[in-house]
Amino acid sequence: MGWPMGALCLRGVFVKEIPSPYLFLLCADGFSSLINSVARNNMLCSVSICRGCPMVTHLFFTDDSLLFCKASTQECQNLMAILNLYEAASEQKVNVDKSSIFLSINTPLELKAEIMEVMGPMQDSKHNKYLGLPSIIGKSKKEVFAEIKEKFAKKLSRWKEKILSIGGKEILIKEVAQAIPTYAMSCFLLPK
């Protein structure tokens, strides 16, 4: 997905796990309400990836949080204030080793440096994968998804040594050829 101009995404994972799933949901709901109240007061801008799409300030997964805002020092300070308030209330702390920041490509270098200073020990994301899929897809989908072909070729090369009948090899190839790209295909439209 392409990031809108001047957008920031913080992927955060909290260190301390909450023992009860219901307690976790209550904390997540409180965190969501905190973010929404700050966004309603125009202290945090929501982000849309294209015209006609809903505006988003945050997305929560099992133990991940994706927080979106405009790439500005003021909004980053507001975001850090939200995180600090949530940490104080829930005793959960952001794991800076597993957290990362994504900035849109067209964010000026000076602004990136200021944002990184505000965000503290969290680092600009150098890895480009999230949940095993590419986080950012540029102009060339072929380059991004070439890894799927490489995985398949690597599996095939390992099977050459195995003693299987032609039918066994055919079944093995069909099963793996269908299984490897399925997860990526459930999220992205792959190039021909």
Q: Give the integer Cα–Cα distance in Å for 131 and 137.
A: 14
Instruction: Name the band, by pLDDT with cuts 50, 70 and 90, for residue 6.
Output: low
The helix or strand, by DSSP H or E, that contains position 100, with its residue range, turns out to be: strand 100-103
Contact (Cβ atoms closer than 8 angstroms) between residue 112 and residue 88? no
| Domain boundaries, given as residue ranges, for the chain | 7-134, 141-187
User: Is 140 a residue whose pLDDT tops 70?
Assistant: yes
Multiple choice CATH, 7-134, 3.30.70, 2.60.90, 3.40.710, 1.10.287: 3.30.70
Per-residue pLDDT tens digits for 12-68: 666 566 667 777 778 888 888 888 988 888 888 887 777 888 888 888 877 778 888
CB 71 within 8 A of CB 8: yes
